[in-house]
Every structure is written in C-alpha cells, then in structure tokens.
Amino acid sequence: MHSAIEQLNLIKIKVNNIIDKTQLKTHPEIIIVSKTFPLIKIKPLLESGHIHYGENKIQEAEEKWSQVKLEYKNIKLHMIGKLQTNKVKSALKLFDYIHSLDNEKLALKLSQGQKMLGKDVKFFIQVNLADEVQKSGISLNKLNDFYDYCTKELSLNVIGLMCLPPIDPSPQKYFKILKESSARLNLNELSMGMSSDFEEAILNHSTYLRIGTLILGKRNIT
C-alpha cells in the first residue's frame, strides 16, 4: 500500500477513535492539503477514492487539477488560501468550496462571478480570532454584519466558518470560540484543524480537517 494511503488510514482511525470515545455526532471530512505537491504524489490517493483536496494558489491549482477534475468527476476541490479579487473568476470555475471569504469587496466579486457563471460554490467565512495583523480573516466583532451582508444582500451560500488559530500550545480555546460563533449564526460547518492540532479541532466539532504534511510528507519549498 502507498505510504500516503497508509497515513490517511491511520488518521481516519484516530478520528474514529476520538468520535467513538467522546460519542460526538459530527464526523469530519478530511481535506488533503495538496498545495506544492506534484500530481504524481497525489494520484494514489485519487485512485483510492479520496475526494477532498485543498490548494492555496490559483495558478498551481489550475495546472494541477483542471484535467484531473474531468477524469475524476466526484473530486471536491477546496480553496484554502487568500483569494485576490482578480482571481475570482478562475477560482469559481475550478473550486467547489472557498474557505477564505473575509471582506466585502471579495464577497461582491464572488456574488457577481457566480451569477455570470451560473455555478453554486460553498463558502466559509474566515475569522481572525485574535485580530492578528499578519493573517487574513474578518474580526469577531464584525462577523455578524459580514455574514448578513454575504447571505442576505449577496445570497452567497455560506455554510460555515474557518479559522487559522494563533500559534498556541492549547488551540482548543480558539476552536471553542469558532464553534460558539458558528452556533450563534446557525451554521453547521466548521473548517478547523490541521496536521498539528486536528485532534483538538475534532473535540470542538470540526466538520472539515485540513491535513497535508501528516499524509503527504514534508513540503519541499524553495
């Protein structure tokens, strides 16, 4: 068995063990974060039937996935990086989920683009839980108004919230804040938890885990 498939199966076992032990009702999907990895490394996972993959750059995603999505019709591609407004049309054509909705200008462009293309994409609002200047995301104190703008004025299909918590030995408190914020908005989906903290995210009802290096190995970034 291919090593990436073995690693994915080990993570699935961990996920199931946590759910069984805590009797959680949520069972998260695993988004394999395939950014920077070549298709040859991802192909065994595709052939094994895994369908959720995440990318953070439009050009790389187009080059890697445009043809693949024609061959594997059930693939669900997630945009998990910052999305520039000039890349909206390309993103809407390729991605099924966008996890980085975080400002009104982008929301308006996405709404206009969807109407033009006639495609229904699912969105997560990215929340900047600690107002970190180096990170994207809407502030918690602006979340309610932004959600109303996206859903009521623009009719975007916002299904949940996403976060990249601050570097912290105990990220649970941030996951809890996102879970509570999601509940107040009656949203069912939470995109949180990566290779280093997915177990804590599961305990706070994450429904989409974004895991890359634990499955595909260390990235070669030059």
User: Mind listing the pLDDT tens digit of every residue in the chain (222 residues)?
Assistant: 679 999 999 999 999 999 999 999 889 999 999 999 999 999 999 999 999 999 999 999 999 999 999 999 999 999 999 999 999 999 999 999 999 999 999 999 999 999 999 989 999 999 999 888 788 899 999 999 999 999 999 999 999 999 998 887 688 999 999 999 999 999 999 999 999 999 999 999 999 999 999 999 987 754
> Domain for residue 222, yes or no?
no
Phi, psi of 94 (to 5 degrees): -95, -40
pLDDT for the residue 46: 96
Cα–Cα distance measured from residue 32 to residue 174, given in angstroms and rounded to the nearest whole number: 22
> Domain for residue 110, yes or no?
yes
pLDDT for the residue 156: 98
The CATH number covering residue 144 comes to: 3.20.20.10
Count Cβ atoms below 10 Å from residue 165 Cβ, excluding itself. Answer: 24
- Tell me the two tokens of residue 101: 């909705």
Count Cβ atoms below 10 Å from residue 2 Cβ, excluding itself. Answer: 13
Closest of 64, 59, 57 to residue 38, by C-alpha: 64
Range of the domain at 124: 3-216
Cα–Cα distance measured from residue 110 to residue 85, given in angstroms and rounded to the nearest whole number: 8
pLDDT for the residue 150: 98
Residue 118 CA, chain-centre distance (Å), reads: 22
pLDDT for the residue 221: 59
pLDDT for the residue 205: 96
Size of the chain in residues: 222
Cα–Cα distance measured from residue 121 to residue 104, given in angstroms and rounded to the nearest whole number: 17
What residues does 1 pair with on adjacent strands? none
> Domain for residue 56, yes or no?
yes
> Domain for residue 132, yes or no?
yes
Cα–Cα distance measured from residue 48 to residue 72, given in angstroms and rounded to the nearest whole number: 12
Could you give the number of structural domains in the chain?
1
pLDDT for the residue 51: 97
**Exposure string over 59-94, b if 16+ CB within 10 A, otherwise e:** eebbebbeeebeeeeebbbbbbbebeeebbbebbeb
pLDDT for the residue 116: 94
Residue 79: HSE in the Cβ half-sphere, 13 Å Cα cutoff: 30
Cα–Cα distance measured from residue 174 to residue 103, given in angstroms and rounded to the nearest whole number: 21
> Domain for residue 63, yes or no?
yes
> Domain for residue 221, yes or no?
no
pLDDT one-digit tens code per residue, 153-202: 999 999 999 999 888 768 899 999 999 999 999 999 999 999 999 999 99
